[in-house]
Amino acid sequence: PDLFEAPDYYNLDDLLTEEHKMIRDAARAWVKRDVSPIIEEAAQEAKFPKSIIPGLASIGAFGPYIPEEYGGAGLDQISYGLIMQEIERGDSGVRSTASVQSSLVMYPIWKYGSEEHRKKFLPKLASGEFMGSFGLTEPDHGSNPSGMITSFKDAGDGEHIILNGAKLWISNSPFCDVAVVWAKNEEGRIHGVIVERGMEGFTTPETHNKWSLRASATGELIFQDVKIPKSNILPGKSGLGAPLGCLDSARFGIAWGAIGAAMDCYDTALRYAKERIQFGKPIAAFQLQQKKLAEMITEITKAQLLAWRLGVLREEGKATSAQISMAKRNNVDMAIKIAREARQILGGMGITGEYSIMRHMMNLESVITYEGTHDIHLLITGLDITGENAFK
């Protein structure tokens, strides 16, 4: 049977260009052909399926909006969102890999790197020859990254810095070739540093026993007196605003991605409800099940509108960080609630790996936590509308 039907209840396709639809459909077809058949087993085995890296590159998932001169796909923000939506229809962990590569590794190198950095790293990251990771979170600093301890000092030879510290919960860390790491200099100012695999004192142990995002590799980044050329410091921007600018781009992609996971849960539950007979009727005929399904499509439609409008604003360079927070928070919450309801519609079958719903549900527990927790995004909205900062 068809794996996905992709609801479009409000004819939102009319808001898309022919190019948008082409890009989306290509991503959708690839996910259906190359991700969906293998992803359940990868999640069960807790292994990132490296075989899909060239496919991710081919649909433009690595640097969708990075200019073509650096190997990116040169697309607009809506295209980026649509690609993330289609990937997360398959699995949030695969979307994570793409989000990190695009918005957290390529974006800072493009925006804050030197021309030499761009030429050296971006084409290889776009093709998937290099995989990247982004180190902001630390064991004792998650929601409050400004307190980070990881720091570097001058090596005294005029050419190098010495980096010490540790990052935790880092997507792609176990296999990354390069890591964009945020660390403080001797004056306590945050800078982005490109750390390369093979540098002495740099290790990336994997974090095991996750019940969520099992098809994505997560780990640590550990720095023990790592000697790094000064030229690996991103020159374009420093301070906490630099990593937060990357998060804006990644959170935008997640706001779209979560819709894909929700659509897949909804499609699956709707199909099942029409086919499953209890008490002599399809369960879709019972009002309680209709309520669940009707609310799901309503919430998906609202989330689609939010994401589309945010895409237009972002393309125009007008989207605020607080607007992005609202969409990330709303859409991930929408998706996790739909996953929980959809799972119930499938009854006992809902807990098995025969269907994607339980995997989406468990994945979304990470998505609602990373890139700013559900609470943090609410407080960002609270600060924006009241002018009162509840963080401090």
Q: Which does 282 bind (CB under 5 to 8 A by kind): ligand FAD, ligand TGC, none?
A: none
In angstroms, the CA 35 to CA 92 distance is 11
Specify whether the backbone of 294 is left (phi greater than 0), alpha (psi in -120 to 50) or beta.
alpha
Q: Give the nearest distance from C-beta 367 to ligand FAD in angstroms.
A: 8
Distances (CA, A) of 326 to 3, 161, 318, 331: 30, 39, 15, 8
Q: Which of residues 223-242 bind ligand TGC (CB under 6 A)?
A: 239-241
Q: Give the nearest distance from C-beta 253 to ligand FAD in angstroms.
A: 13
DSSP 224-240: EEEEEEGGGB--S--ST
Choose the binding region for ligand TGC from 78-86, 137-145, 278-286, 294-302 (rule: CB under 6 A). Answer: 137-145
Q: Which does 347 bind (CB under 5 to 8 A by kind): ligand TGC, ligand FAD, none?
A: none
Q: Which does 285 bind (CB under 5 to 8 A by kind): ligand FAD, ligand TGC, none?
A: none
Which DSSP helix (H) or strand (E) runs through 220?
strand 218-229
- Provide the token pair at 296: 């799901």
Q: Are strands 277-278 and 178-184 parallel, antiparallel or unpaired?
A: unpaired
Give the ranges where 155-240 is alpha helix by DSSP (H): none
Looking at the chain, how many residues does it have? 392
**CB closest to ligand FAD, residue no:** 142
96 contributes a contact to ligand TGC by CB under 6 A? yes
Q: What are phi and psi of 179, to 5 degrees?
A: -130, 130
Q: Is the distance from CB of 69 to CB of 191 less than 8 angstroms?
A: no
SS3 59: coil
Q: How many residues bind ligand FAD (CB under 6 A)?
A: 21
247 contributes a contact to ligand TGC by CB under 6 A? yes
376 contributes a contact to ligand FAD by CB under 6 A? yes
223 contributes a contact to ligand FAD by CB under 6 A? no
Q: Catalytic site residue 371? A: yes
Q: How many residues bind ligand TGC (CB under 6 A)?
A: 26
143 contributes a contact to ligand TGC by CB under 6 A? yes
Determine the distance from the C-alpha atom of residue 120 to the mean position of all C-alpha atoms in its chain, rounded to a whole number: 24
In angstroms, the CA 382 to CA 377 distance is 9
Choose the binding region for ligand FAD from 122-130, 313-321, 332-340, 362-370 (rule: CB under 6 A). Answer: 362-370
207 contributes a contact to ligand TGC by CB under 6 A? no
- Where in the sequence numbering do the catalytic residues fall? 371
Contact residues toward ligand TGC (CB under 6 A) are: 96, 99-100, 134, 136-137, 143-146, 171, 239-241, 244-245, 247-248, 250, 321, 370-372, 376, 380, 391
